[in-house]
Amino acid sequence: MRQTRQVQTPRVMGVLAIVGLAVLAAGAVRGLAAEADSADALYAKARQAYQEGRRAQALTDALAAHKKAPEDVRVKYLVYLLREEAGPTGTGTSGTGTGGTSGTGTNTGGGTVALPAATGPKAVTITTEEMNTLVKEEGQKAIRQFRAIQQILQRRCADGKCHGVQGTGAKWVLALKGTTNQQMLAENFRIVSQFVNRDNPPESPLLLKPLGGKEAGHPEKTIRGKTDPIYQQLLKYIGTLRKATQKGGFWEGGAPPEIP
């Protein structure tokens, strides 16, 4: 009997080892499946499908990613792009191909929109000479008070997935790499000032686009209304800036671009 037990013990241990390996393998498979089904993985699939002209699949994956991560602005923006391209008839609007939402062909027109692919914070590039010129033209007070505006924009618009990092598809990106100092404030003031209407502050794109949301061509409604304290603070600040007619030619170069 003792010899039988001695023979069986290695067999039992071997079986247990095999069972353990099987359990580990099953866990690994489940882990890989979960990773492949994550919001980031689905977004990557949607982005790849978009680049290959498979609009229907891109929209399916993007919507699945949005369901898992409803606050991810990259995903919202991609869904917005796909729906805008599809148009009311689903034939595509940004090119001459047959992309649209049919999933056939590619977008061969010249209107391909850059996809969100966040690459990190933007560095401050304004020179000391440019900063001094800006401060002289706008006034030290305007730049100093912009600190509070920058903080608002960081919280509400630059959460790392939209106006806070490069490569998101946003038309403007705050320069947030490094320490907040006068040079950073001047750089970001220069960026944001392109989207304010000094002569009629309520008509500033900086307010209208996030206030209107998708109806105004913005991925989401980040200002909840005209009674939103953020709206009121931004409006008040814009009203303190020197009027366009009082300024020199520092902002020459044509009409400012629209916020996406």
Query: CA 192, 193, 196, 199: dihedral to nearest 10 degrees?
Result: 170
User: In degrees rounded to 5, what are phi and psi of residue 137?
Assistant: -75, -40
Six-digit token string for 65: 């990613």
Q: What is the pLDDT along the chain (260 residues), one digit of tens a residue?
A: 555 555 555 565 565 556 555 556 566 556 655 677 888 888 888 888 887 778 778 888 888 888 888 767 677 767 766 765 665 433 343 333 333 333 333 333 344 454 545 567 888 999 999 999 999 999 999 999 999 999 998 888 876 567 766 666 677 888 888 899 999 999 999 999 999 999 999 999 999 888 887 776 776 778 888 999 999 999 999 999 988 766 544 333 334 434 43
* pTM confidence score: 0.52
Query: CA 197 to CA 234: how far, in whole Å?
Result: 12
Nearest Cα neighbor of 222 from 146, 167, 164, 158 is 158
Q: What angle do CA 258, 112, 158 make, to 5 degrees?
A: 45
Q: With b meaning 16 or more CB within 10 Å and e meaning fewer, what string describes 101-132?
A: bebeeebeeeebbebbebeebbebebeeeebe
